[in-house]
Amino acid sequence: MKIGYVVKMFPRISETFILNEILELERQGAEVTIFSLKKPNEGKFHPQIGELKAHIHYLEDFDVKKWSGWISNEWDCLEKYNSNIWNLINEALRTKDTSRIENIWRSAWITSKVESLGIERLHAHFASLPSTIAYLSHRICGIPFSFTAHAKDIFVYDMDEHYLREKLQYASFIVTVTNFNKNYLFEQAPEINMDRIKVLYNGVNLNSLQPVPVSKRKTKTILGVGRLVEKKGFDDLLKALKILKEKKIDFECVIAGSGPEQEDLLALQEELQLQDDVQFIGAKTSDEVISLMNEATLFCLPCIIAKDNNIDALPTVLLEALAVGLPSISTRISGIPEIIKHEHNGLLVEEKKPVQLAEMLERLLLSEELREEYAKKGRVFAENNFSLKNNAGKLYEMYIDDLKNIAAPKKLKTIEAN
């Protein structure tokens, strides 16, 4: 099957789940073409990008204000969709939505590639701009499209922003990464058939993530990994570490990541006098993160609901921690309780409760037996729920079944006509 993936920026170091998904689809026989709205600007890439076969088209190269200069080259492919394109533009003009006009031209360009490359369907990651582009391409040429809804794209924006209500109606199916997300979408749009919203966890490559025995790990190293943004809750981690220090609990903490909260976190580190206890080591590639995980004593990601309602849905680093047998602590928000089962394969606390967090950190630091139990159960849970091969395979089956369902009525109609 030839699949077009529409994404905002590719590759992106914080979105390993997209790269992993595409690589696994390629391993299972799919031919993928990537349409990235922006070029990467982080200067750091996961080494797995070298395995990618997919060709990447960057739409950032096209100035939408000079659309006639580059869309004219595609008009041989687009001429038969002329009326659909201009109907969409007339809709946008009636609503005075100039941004939609720009996105129509982007979608028209993708439509020309759909035609020339024989792409059979589009899939977008995130319910925001990328899925809007896929949706408009569908409106132009009828190509089936689907999208994966994650977190910020549904929790921060309302149902009419980025035309989410329209896209839920037009998409052949919708994927979301947690049951929490599915229930939230249904609350926001009860008119949508719940069966069309498929829950599919992001997967991790279990073959490359092998569990490391607790006995071979360091004995006092707390690891945190994630973008330095409000929703990750790293300020609560620092406050909890201050409590541990006051109780004279022996520890060291390493936090890997970069982001807009970095200066505030460094200031808080200094205020709490944790300069000798906590290291901020910047953003790391997936291989570097796994190396850190293979050495650490425990993992901590105290996520919160940010002021703008932004929230983590299914943090990939927690899935990776389970897979390598790294005992983990996180919070009871969104889909995290679908990853960590409290007192079974890890520990959960309420968000924004550094005192509770300090208690759980202390428990795991002081009990090798507990770490051993959670490590073994965490790996089994990852194997049963978060296998990249299995979960990407399920997604591939969805694509294939969807095309069969679309094709079947047409075939039946032809038979009846004869």
CATH number at residue 222: 3.40.50.2000
Q: Is residue 315 part of a domain?
A: yes
Give me the amino acid identity at 415. Answer: I
Q: Do 15 and 155 reside in the same domain of the chain?
A: yes
Place of tokens 């995980």: 293
Residue at 80 is within a domain:
yes
Instruction: Classify residue 97: in a domain, yes or no.
Output: yes
- The reply to whether 379 falls in a domain is yes
29 residue type, one letter: G
H-helix segments, 211-285: 234-246, 262-271
Q: Are residues 412 and 369 in the same domain?
A: no
Amino acid, single-letter form, for residue 259:
G
How does pLDDT run along the chain (418 residues), one tens digit per residue? 999 999 999 999 889 999 999 999 999 999 999 999 999 988 778 889 999 999 999 999 888 778 888 888 898 999 999 999 999 999 999 988 888 999 999 999 999 999 999 999 999 999 999 999 999 999 999 999 999 999 999 999 888 888 999 999 999 999 999 999 999 999 999 998 989 999 999 999 999 999 999 999 999 999 999 999 999 999 999 999 999 999 999 999 999 999 999 999 999 999 999 999 999 999 999 999 999 999 999 999 999 999 999 999 999 999 999 999 999 999 999 999 999 999 999 999 999 999 999 999 999 999 999 999 999 999 999 999 999 999 999 999 999 999 888 775 444 333 333 3
In a domain, 208, yes or no: no
Contact 200, 273 (CB under 8 A): no
Residues 361 and 263 reside in one and the same domain: yes
DSSP letters for 353-396: -HHHHHHHHHHHHH-HHHHHHHHHHHHHHHHHH-BHHHHHHHHH
Strand ranges, E, within 126-244: 145-149, 173-176, 197-199, 221-225
- Are 224 and 117 contained in the same domain? no
In one-letter notation, the amino acid at residue 286 is: S
Please check whether residues 128 and 258 belong to one and the same domain: no
275 and 135 in one domain?
A: no
Q: What is the pLDDT, as a whole number, of residue 44?
A: 77
Asked if 395 and 349 sit in the same domain, the reply is no
DSSP state of 352: T
DSSP codes of every residue in 183-215: HHHHHH-TTS-GGGEEE----B-TTT-----GG
Residue 396 and residue 377 in one domain: no
Position 125 in a domain: yes
Taking CA atoms, 418 is separated from 272, 373, 412, 413, in Å, by 80, 66, 10, 9
Same structural domain, 399 and 341: no
The residue segments making up the domain with residue 123 are 2-203+388-417
**What tokens does 45 get?**
């890439």
What sections of 196-304 are H helices per DSSP? 234-246, 262-271, 286-295
In this structure, the answer to whether residues 229 and 324 fall within a common structural domain is yes
The count of domains in the chain is 2
Same domain? For 263 and 143 the reply is no
Are 189 and 280 part of one and the same domain? no
Report helix angle 388-417 to 16-27, nearest 10.
Answer: 60
